[in-house]
Amino acid sequence: MTSDIIINEFKGPYDFLSNFHAYPVTIADTIYFTNEHFFQAFKTTTVEDFNWILNAATPGIAKIMGSPRGYKGRKIILRDDWDAIKDEIMVIGIGWKFSIPLLRANLIATGGATLIEGNYWHDNYWGNCYCPKCQHIPGQNKLGQIIMGVRDTLG
């Protein structure tokens, strides 16, 4: 089911759609503070780096830890297969996140709205950047597509 409604930022009443939304989820006996923690931790090749990201104080820090620049002088070694599996890792994390009854109910309540992970930090893979520099670059909105796909299985 689709509608003419577009949710173009995961903020305010739609913050729960964000990977930064603080709602812990347990997957295989491991507690992830946010889906961002889950996603970034799975980029790693060692248990030490996995746990380092898992225990990040905020989702923003977890994201930096998993980035090429690293955090406070420490950098992870990115999995060789990351580009091939990153979408599936996101699907798994989003699926678990929206298995939580409150979040599932909130997601279903979006009905057939188009969900766009709108941003201003040039992420045109997972979302759609609205900055002037990116205005002519179509975003792939992979995160929005994944969330809508999960919603379709719940409704």
List the chain pLDDT tens, one digit each, 155 residues.
567 999 999 999 999 999 999 999 999 999 999 999 999 999 999 999 999 999 999 999 999 999 999 999 999 999 999 999 999 999 999 999 999 999 999 999 999 999 999 999 999 999 999 999 998 999 999 999 999 999 999 97
131 CB neighbour count, 10 Å cutoff: 11
Domains delineated in the chain: 6-154 (1.10.357.40)
Distance CA 109, CA 128 (A): 23
* Contacts of the segment 104-108: beta carbons below 8 A, 24+ positions apart: 104/154, 106/16, 107/16, 107/17, 107/147, 107/150, 107/151, 107/154, 108/151, 108/154, 108/155
Cβ–Cβ < 8 Å for 69, 56: no
52: three-class secondary structure by DSSP: helix
